[in-house]
Amino acid sequence: MLYGHGDDARLQPREIRDDFSSNIRPDGPPPGLLGHLRTRIDVVTRYPDAGARDLAARFAAATNVPPENTLVTAGATAAIYLVAQTFRRKRSCIITPTFSEYEDAAKIHEHTLSFATRTELRVPANAAPANTAPTHAAPTNTAPANTAPPADVLWLCEPNNPTGEVLPREQLLALVDAQPATVFVIDQSYAGFCSAPQLRATDAAARDNLILIHSLTKALGIPGLRLGATVSSAALIAQITRHLQPWSVNALALEAGAYYLSHVRDFALPLDDMLANARALSRTISELPGYAPLPSATNFFLVTLARGVSQALKHYLVNGHGILVRDASNFRGLTAQHIRVAAQSPWQNHRLTEALRAWRP
């Protein structure tokens, strides 16, 4: 397990006022959710649903797939480890830089590992997804074929953490359909954090080689409760479920999930504001000497440092300003010249840019 994820404010020497390190919804959970959980605290006196099947059925209905195509887990990371266990000792290819838990889970379950970049995930430009009607005329030119190493399992974060990159839905489906012998595990934990069309639950339910992993707690703003959902073919869900421990999703998390599915509109992310704040923050940082923000389709993005190192900058921001950013140096494929920033409110963003302006490595 990697020690060095975001949201490590509890480990810092002073109180954090502005946390840019964790890419969850910046406005926090809707008040109705916390109020509901307070009234339902007595559920902890009873065992929860052993397999979280009731909530899985409700999630399935909300995403237009049968219940047998859905599994509820204690967060997206729990699903990652279950999938790695299901494919124990297989060949895994991880598209980097990305969330470290894919690699850690694969290592624990003795996968043979290879790595590729997102630029190596290319399919013929005129390839149409096998189960999806093309939405436009196919172009006459083609792109180079996929050059990622052959694998039994391919891990992809979409939108990607930490870069915020997004591949077109049609391209992803073409890639999946062009390689039926490879199981594509696509982590959609940040699907709600960008406006680009994402793969749908129905896409996964209709294919034998596609697993979609969702985090419910990032969009709800309650990552401490741990709740996620996985959608795939009925056969793959059955295989994964064999490794699920009973009562792995706690009763309060199940209550939160049920409340969310009954009040979906109340949980709508303020996406336009989030993306506008991120664009404004990225633009302002780009105007500071020594910082180069990278393009992102989400409210979080990488910043490349032209001077100094990420660990020193993180310590300076914490100790001098009570500001926390993500030291991104421990992502495979990144360096000590990278930090990740998740945009917050305009006045918090202003405090960050002024602190960056004042840093003298």
Q: What is the pLDDT averaged over residues 29-49?
A: 94
Percent over 70 (pLDDT), the chain:
89
* Alpha helices for 68-222 (secondary structure H): 76-86, 101-108, 169-178, 201-205, 217-220
Parallel, antiparallel, or unpaired for β 153-157 and 183-187? parallel
On whether residue 1 sits in a domain, the answer given is no
Instruction: Note the pLDDT of residue 121.
Output: 84
Task: Give the pLDDT confidence of 230-245 residue by residue, as tens digits.
Answer: 999 999 999 999 999 9
Question: How far, in Å, CA of 40 to CA of 51, rounded?
Answer: 20
- Domain shared by 18 and 164, yes or no: no
On whether residue 159 sits in a domain, the answer given is yes
Task: Give the pLDDT confidence of 195-213 residue by residue, as tens digits.
Answer: 999 999 999 999 999 999 9
- Domain shared by 57 and 179, yes or no: yes
Tokens representing 99?
A: 């969330």
Task: Give the pLDDT confidence of 250-308 residue by residue, as tens digits.
Answer: 999 999 999 999 999 888 899 999 999 999 999 999 999 999 999 999 999 999 999 99
Instruction: Note the pLDDT of residue 124.
Output: 45
- Domain shared by 259 and 302, yes or no: no
On whether residue 16 sits in a domain, the answer given is yes
Instruction: Note the pLDDT of residue 273.
Output: 96
On whether residue 199 sits in a domain, the answer given is yes
Residue that terminates a domain, selected from 204, 231, 266? 266
- Domain shared by 181 and 134, yes or no: yes
Instruction: Note the pLDDT of residue 5.
Output: 57
- Domain shared by 290 and 156, yes or no: no
Q: How confident is the model at residue 24 (pLDDT cuts 50, 70, 90)?
A: confident
- Domain shared by 311 and 178, yes or no: no
Q: Which CATH number is 349's domain given?
A: 3.90.1150.10
Q: 144 pLDDT exceeds 50? A: no
On whether residue 4 sits in a domain, the answer given is no
- Domain shared by 338 and 248, yes or no: no
Q: What is the pLDDT averaged over residues 77-90?
A: 98
For 15, residues 6+ apart whose C-beta sits below 8 A from its C-beta are 322
Parallel, antiparallel, or unpaired for β 91-96 and 70-73? unpaired
Decide: helix, strand or coil at residue 361: coil
Decide: helix, strand or coil at residue 162: coil
Tokens representing 276?
A: 């506008």
Q: 130 pLDDT exceeds 50? A: no
Count of other CB atoms within 10 angstroms of residue 109: 19
Q: 79 pLDDT exceeds 80? A: yes
Decide: helix, strand or coil at residue 167: coil
Q: How confident is the model at residue 4 (pLDDT cuts 50, 70, 90)?
A: low
Instruction: Note the pLDDT of residue 15.
Output: 82
Q: What is the pLDDT averaged over residues 329-357?
A: 97
- Domain shared by 248 and 340, yes or no: no
Q: How confident is the model at residue 131 (pLDDT cuts 50, 70, 90)?
A: very low
- Domain shared by 279 and 321, yes or no: yes
> Alpha carbon 274 to chain centroid distance?
16
Domain that holds residue 305: 9-27+270-358
Q: 8 pLDDT exceeds 70? A: no
Write down the mean pLDDT value for the chain.
90
- Domain shared by 218 and 326, yes or no: no
On whether residue 3 sits in a domain, the answer given is no
Q: CA–CA distance from 201 to each of 40, 168, 298, 343 (Å)?
A: 30, 16, 21, 28
User: Which is nearest to 356 in space by CA: 281, 292, 301, 288?
Assistant: 288
Question: How far, in Å, CA of 10 to CA of 3, rounded?
Answer: 13
Domain count within the chain: 2
On whether residue 2 sits in a domain, the answer given is no
Can you spell out the DSSP letters for 171-196?
Answer: HHHHHHHH-TTSEEEEE-TTGGGSSS
Residue that terminates a domain, selected from 266, 293, 312? 266
Instruction: Note the pLDDT of residue 219.
Output: 83
On whether residue 280 sits in a domain, the answer given is yes
Ranking 86-100, 117-131, 148-162 by mean pLDDT, the lowest is 117-131
Q: 125 pLDDT exceeds 60? A: no
Q: Which CATH number is 148's domain given?
A: 3.40.640.10
Q: What is the pLDDT averaged over residues 183-196?
A: 96
Decide: helix, strand or coil at residue 340: strand
Question: How far, in Å, CA of 300 to CA of 275, rounded?
Answer: 9
Residue that terminates a domain, selected from 239, 266, 293? 266
Instruction: Note the pLDDT of residue 218.
Output: 87
- Domain shared by 62 and 15, yes or no: no
Q: What is the pLDDT averaged over residues 188-197?
A: 95
Can you spell out the DSSP letters for 274-331?
Answer: HHHHHHHHHHHHHTSTTEEEPP-SSSEEEEEESSS-HHHHHHHHHHHHSEE-EEGGGS
- Domain shared by 246 and 320, yes or no: no
Q: How confident is the model at residue 136 (pLDDT cuts 50, 70, 90)?
A: very low
